[in-house]
A = this chain, B = another copy of it.
């Protein structure tokens, strides 16, 4: 496969567990003989290949590096500052691993939001809380922060929350997700009132089990019905 050493793709994969939003990072291989930057983390991404569309490159790269499949990636920005491939040791690492003389790279950035529990990922990957990221290589911290802004915007209008829930879920779980991703508090009476009006959320004839409090009803998201109207959720 022919790489194009001028353009890359990077994927910011958000996930949700234990009430916090996380990003999927990759441990850059520790290299002997090079002290600096040995253990840095990076986003899954790579140079694109010559005959591939950008979106396809992003999807393939993500699968190769993390094991994730069938993920919808949204392109949200491009980063092309001629000085973005700093510090020097990061650039050297890139030249070594790609086997190409790399100079300036414009990167096309994608993001997605997935359920951590479902995802089968390789052992080089790490889910790291977004709110206290270490220093990543190149401008990847910046790329993550921009993705987060985009995610929050989309969250209001698209049914992203259901990506994070099991098929059957309680309204409390749904509310928790809104609260922590958007970093707000919601009144549960008002929240439920609003939810009840959405005809694409259907109540199941089942309840939670084995909880030591009143068991909650289970609901599911009916994507068919949702597609018909494009109404903001919250």
A161 is an interface residue with CB less than 8 A from chain B: no
**Which A55-90 residues have C-beta < 8 A from chain B?**
75, 77-78, 80-82
Most buried by B among A48, A80, A82, A106: A80
Q: Please judge, given known A-B contacts A7-B7, A7-B106, whether A53 and B78 are in contact too, CB under 8 Å.
A: no
User: What is the bound-complex CA distance between A104 and B50, given in angstroms?
Assistant: 8
Chain B residues near A77 (CB-CB < 8 A): 75
Copies of this chain in the oligomer: 2
Asked if B82 contacts A52 (CB within 8 A), the reply is yes
Chain B residues near A7 (CB-CB < 8 A): 6-7, 80, 106
Chain A's interface size range is: 10 to 19
**Which A1-43 residues have C-beta < 8 A from chain B?**
4, 6-7
Chain B residues near A94 (CB-CB < 8 A): none
Closest 3 CB pairs of A and B: A54-B80, A6-B6, A78-B78
